[in-house]
Amino acid sequence: MPRKRTWIVGGTLLALIAALGVGQAALEARAEAEAAEMVEVPLFEVDPLWPQPLPNHWILGSAIGVGVDSRDRVYVIHRRESLNERTEMLAAYDPPRADCCVAAPNVLVFDGAGELVDHWGGPGEGYDWPSSNHGLTVDPDDNVWIGGNGRDDSHLLKFTRDGEFLFQVGHPAEGVASRSTERLGGVAKISFTAEGDEAYVADGYRNKRVAVLDASTGEFLRMWGAYGNEPRDVELGPYDPDAPAAQQFRTPVHCAEPTDDGLVYVCDRVNDRIQVFRLDGTFVEEKRIAPETLGDGSVWDIAFSRDPEQRFIYLADGANMRIYVIDRESLEILTTFGDGGRQPGQFFAVHSIATDSRGNIYTTETYEGKRVQKFVYQGMGTVEKGSDQGTVWPGME
């Protein structure tokens, strides 16, 4: 009997200890969950049926720019020549061997439902269409501005929203000229103040500067390099995340986005950083994004939320295949969404980003991505700070 009683008592003690251990683990898990910082962010889900199918067996090449006008029409520019031989060869024979496929016109215009409502672009009389078009932005007057990053693309173009040519700044020429007031050097993107009086040029692929133009005439007004330094054409070599911060932009300077409160956010893409300036080029601060990213870099393009304070930055990272949601005031990363892949809500080289008046996000993908996607604004919600939401498929939580 004593031995049996000892066994029972011992077993009871072990059970109590185990229960206490489980209870302690549960308490610790609960404490960790309560300690996790929750933040309020805009939430999105992809619209897998946007845009609607294109007519005429048209398909997109590398989609290299997106902009939204005052009517919430979405303008997409792509590179017709980027289709590979197999993709376009069947229709290229005379007579064609099959119906599909044909490169769509350079600029496509969609309404909010994703229906194609207009198309234009390409070489024409009176202007030099870029050898490698790059970036598209719609200014506050609904004019469309286009850059180029080919070897001799040292200019930009301005059109009406219907594709009527207005003027050209610069002219085709090879080489770099980061202090020139006569020509540009591989324009990645053009952006505008809310009043539309000034154009901020991410100049970009050969030059290493932000150039500011009079948006009505194209006249050069001012320019600056990283930290507000005088732009220089020196080659810095490969990016090293452990090296001291580069005092010049690396190629490419990929965006220069003014805000309504007088700041400019610059995408120093390969240096993995956003640099913030005042409109006159005075340096304010910087934020490194995924600083271990090599090669193409992490900071490809940014758009702002459409609330009056432009509270959030949406940053497209084409190397890591995601969108960052960033608090604009603190530059803290609040959450991310997206993933690498071919399915809706995933990305292959997400390149450009824009928002419409309803708060929806539009993205394009370059290289072999070759598409445009719409992410529908779902309102504000709370997530754990720094969390990755992954693919924001409809109905997923």
Q: 381 and 392 in contact (C-beta within 8 Å)?
A: no
What predicted TM-score, i.e. pTM, was given to this entire model? Answer: 0.90
- The predicted-structure confidence for 36-54, as pLDDT tens digits, reads as follows 799 999 999 999 999 999 9
> Mean pLDDT for each consecutive 10-residue tract of the chain (397 residues)?
45 47 54 71 98 95 97 97 76 74 95 97 96 97 97 97 97 91 95 96 96 97 98 92 96 98 98 98 98 97 97 98 98 98 97 98 97 98 97 85
- Quick check: is 232 in a domain? yes
Q: What's the 3-state SS for 11-47?
A: HHHHHHHHHHHHHHHHHHHHHHHHHCCEEEEEEEEEC
- In the prediction, which pLDDT does 230 show? 96
- Quick check: is 92 in a domain? yes
Looking at the 3D structure of the chain, how many domains does it have? 1
Tokens describing residue 177: 């000229």
Cβ neighbourhood burial of 313 (10 Å; 0-12, 13-18, 19+)? buried
- In the prediction, which pLDDT does 345 show? 97
- In the prediction, which pLDDT does 367 show? 95
- Quick check: is 1 in a domain? no
- In the prediction, which pLDDT does 291 show? 97
Containing domain of residue 139, as a range? 40-388
Q: 284 and 278 in contact (C-beta within 8 Å)?
A: yes
Calculate the dihedral angle through the C-alpha atoms of 281, 201, 255, 374, rounding to the nearest 10 degrees.
Answer: 140
- In the prediction, which pLDDT does 8 show? 44
- Quick check: is 51 in a domain? yes
- Quick check: is 33 in a domain? no
CATH number (domain holding residue 292): 2.120.10.30
d(CA 393, CA 45): 6
d(CA 186, CA 107): 19
Backbone φ and ψ of 24, nearest 5°: -65, -40
Residue 353 CA, distance from chain mean position: 4
Q: 176 and 183 in contact (C-beta within 8 Å)?
A: no
- Quick check: is 394 in a domain? no
- In the prediction, which pLDDT does 394 show? 93
Tokens describing residue 39: 């933040």
- In the prediction, which pLDDT does 382 show? 96
Find the helix or strand (DSSP H, E) in which 88 lies: helix 85-92
- In the prediction, which pLDDT does 19 show? 47
Q: How big is the CA angle at 334 (ends 286 and 257), to the nearest 5 degrees?
A: 45
Instruction: Give one DSSP letter per residue of 127-165, joined into a string.
Output: B---TTEEEEEE-TTS-EEEEE-STT--EEEEE-TTS-E
- In the prediction, which pLDDT does 31 show? 47
- Quick check: is 366 in a domain? yes
- Quick check: is 22 in a domain? no
